[in-house]
Structure 1
Amino acid sequence: MRLHIHTFLTCLLTLLNHTNAQQSQSPLTSPKVPSPQPYRIAIIGAGAAGSSAAYHLSQYANTTQHDLRPLDITIFESTSHIGGRATTVNALSDPRYPVELGASIFVNINQILFNATRDFNLPSNDRIYENTGSSYDIGIWDGQTFVFTLPNRDDTSGLKGTLGSYWDIAKLLWKYGLSPIRLRNLQQTTISKFLRLYSDIFPFKDLTRAASAVDLLDTTGQSGTQILSANGISEKFSREIIQASSRVNYAQNLHDFHGLETMVCMSTEGAMSISGGNWQIFDRMIRSSGAKLNLNTTIAWIQHNEMLDMTILHDQNHGSYYFDTVILAAPYNTSTGSSYSKPFISPEPPPIQKVDYVSLHVTLFTSPHRPSPSFFNLDSTDPQSINSIPDTILTTLPGPLDPFPLGRGESAVGPSTFWSLSTLRVLHPSTDGFESIPSTVSSGHIPLENLELNTTQYLYKIFSPAPLSASFMRELFGWEEDDTFSEHGEDREGGRKSEDGISTLPNDLISWSYEKTWNSYPYLPPTREFDCFDMYGCGREDDEENSEQSRGQDSKNEQSRGQGYEYAQNDMSGRLWYTSGMERFISTMETSALAGRNVARLIVDGLERDARAKEMTGMEG
């Protein structure tokens, strides 16, 4: 018994000693620390700004030196595709012929987009337009005559349709004096100021102050006509050359178009696009970010809940999503008639500038026919006159720049009735091989009816303020009325009317067509004030005097990232971000991507501040 008791006591003592040893050594074992809750970010919109925001959020978070909360990014897109206005369709419904329906080009000074082509190994194409055999690459038509033409030089630069790359200096100087050189100098000065937004003062919450810091508020505060005249650029050159560019790029005339965008629309050197579609840049950005993507999802309500300290998003199907912060990467407070359905926001943020968007009609079509010389008042009896019609036709107004009759859309386009007409490519459906299919198209059935097209097809693109009518097409191509109303068995007396659209035309005239109406870009009248990126937390001076005093200090104060301006500090600051205010400053794919990157940097900076504060608290403890 004693032996049993001794044995028991010995075992018990051994067990107790072992337990005490474990307890005494436990501080040497690292305690299990619970994983931090992810920082949940919602992005509304999968266009250039939204995709850039997602991509740069992940990039900045992955390269930080601090222990940040992991990011959980979700993107909501109301349409079925990524890229916003960067969209392609297949001409002839054939994957051999992808064509841009919206944003067509970017240039080599566009740092974000240009670098993306390298980082994502996307094949770029600098042959934006194809030579179709015309004697002229570009013609500028005022509705009566071609006021300027550039001959087809059939070289390897491939930048047809971009004025800056095809300037025949001798011809320009002979016709317009020193204006081309003065414009060039003004462009270079303006671009150097703009590029400071990527470096010196990046990131920035308040675009108005940022524009002031880089000395661009005077440029946005004047119309195109004013800034060009102030820099010694002639009215004739401005109207015939520069206004043609403002119309093809933004469907606006110079009198109602601010000076900064005037410089942007003429900055076309190094123009390029991505083979198969520019949307691929934004698709790769989203895929690289690791964000969750919800297509065909419209956010109807954004609500901040103070008790939960969360922002709740409600979609059109009454689904709810909880986030720490939200990036609104889509237009808000747009004019009546916009196709974008803006969400209701609670609590209501400070007022955002109302934005009127251009209603731009884009028409793509193929036809075996070339436009009629008589439409452009050329000698139709000359068999060579068909080759005198430029491949790319830009338009301007025949009258002086100022004064102008006020108006937008159809009232502003003038006697030309369209903004631009481009012959993009020459197609040979029965013989074109498959080698031109972009690598992003893994498969695709080419309809037999397209293969049976044994005639040459010309692919056209027209920008206009209103849908094209059958009667316009009849005039443009010189078709007889009987030709345009003789197909499909309709009774001409009770059938189609001349106001009918181009889809009603016979297949032997229009073999394929696609039409789209975009709310493409804002009207850009002169302005000196822009919306903040932080919808709740961006403070401004209350009076113009303080604002003027601050402008002199802006460039000195913004010496490093995240330092400089004072902003409103409240519980809602940093909860809701807005990128589309950038479009009233400059409206391009690149600047929308810059807005997304800017917001991403601001958000990660805030998380880094929180991480630093936590690290300091731990050190003090």
Structure 2
Amino acid sequence: MLASHLLVVLPLLLHTHAFQFPFRIPFLTTQPKPSSEPVPHPPPRVAIIGAGPSGSSAAFWLSLAKQRYGLDDLEIDVFEKSSYIGGRSTVAYPYDNHDLPAVELGASVFVGSNKNLWRAADEFNLTRIPFKSKAAEGFGMWDGSNVIFAVTSSWWDYPKMIWRYGFKAPKRTDTLVKTMIERYLSLYSPHPPRWDNITSLASTLQWNDLITQSTADWLQSQGVSKQFIYELVEVAVRVNYGQDVEHIHALEGLVSLAANNVVSIKGGNFQVFENFLQRSGANVRLNTNVLSISANPSLPNYWDVRHQTNGGRTEVGTYKGVIVAFPMPRGPGDFIHPPPELHFPQRDYVKLHVTLLATTCVSPNVTFLARNSGKEVASLEGQKLPRTLYASTLGLTADEVEFNAISYLTELDRGEDAPAEQEWIVKVFSLREVSDEWLRSALGDTIGWVSRKEWDAYPLGTPSDEFAPVRVDKGLFYVNSFENFISTMETSTVASRNVVDLLLNEEFNGAGVCRRSLSADDRAAQTSFKGPKGFVFGWDC
């Protein structure tokens, strides 16, 4: 039942620098030379712009297709404007000490139904670790002035939840989440759909109502109580997507609740994406800003990618295919020439503030909890306060929501440098920066290290059946269109696999990540293979 499941899973939902590369990164130097002779066709090359989960996995899927189709001449160039691989999947080190365990700063966890990341960890010999936090010892829901509901990992938690929300709401929500997951898993089946626009995929998966209604409206239409929606579901949505149930579409609302078997990669999830690129054999160019994509004036159906190197030099490369793997929330503007004829709806991104800190305070202090409640501090003394707080925003304005979550992650052991008291790593999610004064009010004068990061974390999940195109033009694809549908590390890899499939089919004689023209015997051999988590399209063919 979802009620008891949420008591275990909800604390885990919170956890959705520079480093050295373990491999050599070749640099591109070739530039087209002007000539009066007819321009020969260059070797087949694909450019991928962005080295986050979408771009790195796209390079990996292309490399698998090269092996399966014998496309030995196909070259893959990956451009990334930042200095590292992984995009919003990166880490921080307490006290900037790389000998201490890394703490996820961006995308923090994945789950059992995330079959590409799960399989990648196995294939790349990375260690999955069950995600745990001190929230497992108890958490509370904070309404701006009081803890309105709390659990303490005791036998009494489940009865308290049933008393507050009843049986129907948790059970009904559990059924809805399971139905969504079952349809989602068809994307890994031996014959998954291909899509060149998101609306058609939503129709295939019977999710039209989910993307055109808010989480609050849709769940209420399905018989889920308002209190359950605006408290427990709201907490999950705010922690995962920094939005509320009234403004985010129902599909992402359900995704926020689908948190079975939550894990992360020991040492940082970014290692998955480093491995994607390392094993792809792609030419990776970090600190390289792509300035524009233009149709080549001499070669029909080829694209020129103009980019600026770290040294400030401008270069141009010509490509048979281009995959745009970074967000364009305002559309392509003058980035693509000629401008695409297809419509790009504008979608702003949530600006999320992530604050990591080390403290010897064992839990948020009483003074902080009482300051807006009208209660005397003395009346709260002696209470067992939760180490993790989630914001419940029913009846609050945006300005009144000070944070989305405060969570104690783990103890910190600094060896000889450790203070006398036990230190803890704490993560704060908020929609505006939390000041040092605010932190002191929450945790006292006990903070030894603070790291702040502002992300354009996720697109606003406004209910709509309009999405940016996946296929922008012949040979030109936009993988991040999927983010407005579902925004996770895993779905970035699913979306990139689909884009690579479309590109290969269109530009490389009907090829794909997996061969589509198989004999009955070959197809039976492919689909009968069971990897560690069963058949996963893209890997098992």
| TM-score, with length taken from structure 1 | 0.70
Contact 2:357 2:426 in 1 (8 A): yes
SS in 2 for 1:255: coil
Whole-angstrom distance in 1 between the partners of 2:78 and 2:53: 13
State whether structure 2 residue 216 is matched by structure 1 residue 198.
Answer: no
| 1:313 CA drift (Å) | 1.0
Q: Identity, % of aligned pairs?
A: 34
Whole-angstrom distance in 1 between the partners of 2:274 and 2:468: 27
SS in 2 for 1:106: coil
1:351–1:115 CA distance, 2 compared to 1 (3 A): same
| 1:523 CA drift (Å) | 0.7
State whether structure 2 residue 413 is matched by structure 1 residue 428.
Answer: yes
Alignment counterpart, residue 176 of structure 1, candidates 138, 156, 165: 165
1:113–1:342 CA distance, 2 compared to 1 (3 A): farther
Whole-angstrom distance in 2 between the partners of 1:582 and 1:186: 22
Whole-angstrom distance in 1 between the partners of 2:224 and 2:318: 54
- 2:466 corresponds to: 529
Q: Aligned ranges for residues 313-462 of structure 1 at < 5 Å?
A: 313-316=305-308, 317-334=313-330, 344-349=335-340, 350-370=342-362, 371-377=364-370, 380-381=377-378, 385=382, 388-399=384-395, 412=398, 415-430=400-415, 451=417, 453-462=419-428
Alignment counterpart, residue 289 of structure 2, candidates 286, 298, 302: 298
Which runs of 5 or more residues in structure 1 are unaligned?
1-35, 154-165, 336-340, 400-404, 406-410, 432-450, 480-508, 537-572, 613-621
SS in 1 for 2:314: coil
Contact 1:141 1:416 in 2 (8 A): no
SS in 1 for 2:471: coil
Runs of 4 or more, structure 1, over 6 Å off, are none
Alignment counterpart, residue 518 of structure 1, candidates 455, 474, 481: 455
SS in 2 for 1:458: strand
- 2:31 corresponds to: none
Alignment counterpart, residue 225 of structure 1, candidates 213, 216, 221: 216
- Rg comparison, structure with higher value: 1
| 1:268 CA drift (Å) | 1.1
Whole-angstrom distance in 1 between the partners of 2:92 and 2:103: 6
| TM-score, with length taken from structure 2 | 0.79
- 2:54 corresponds to: 49
1:343–1:454 CA distance, 2 compared to 1 (3 A): farther
SS in 2 for 1:57: helix
| 1:324 CA drift (Å) | 1.0
SS in 2 for 1:244: helix
Q: Aligned ranges for residues 492-571 of structure 1 at < 5 Å?
A: 509-536=446-473
- 2:9 corresponds to: none
For residues 192-220 of structure 1, what are the alpha-carbon distances to aligned partners after superposition, in whole Å with 9 as ceiling and x for unaligned? Answer: 22222333443221221111111111111
For residues 288-320 of structure 1, what are the alpha-carbon distances to aligned partners after superposition, in whole Å with 9 as ceiling and x for unaligned? Answer: 111010001110111111413331111133211
Q: Aligned ranges for residues 563-602 of structure 1 at < 5 Å?
A: 573=474, 575-602=475-502
Whole-angstrom distance in 2 between the partners of 1:283 and 1:343: 31
Contact 2:501 2:511 in 1 (8 A): no
Which runs of 5 or more residues in structure 2 are unaligned?
1-40, 513-541
RMSD over equivalenced CA pairs, Å: 2.5
State whether structure 2 residue 116 is matched by structure 1 residue 112.
Answer: yes
* Count of residue correspondences: 458
1:334–1:152 CA distance, 2 compared to 1 (3 A): farther
| 1:334 CA drift (Å) | 3.1
Contact 1:220 1:260 in 2 (8 A): yes
| 1:148 CA drift (Å) | 2.2
Alignment counterpart, residue 70 of structure 1, candidates 73, 76, 84: 73
Contact 2:296 2:318 in 1 (8 A): no
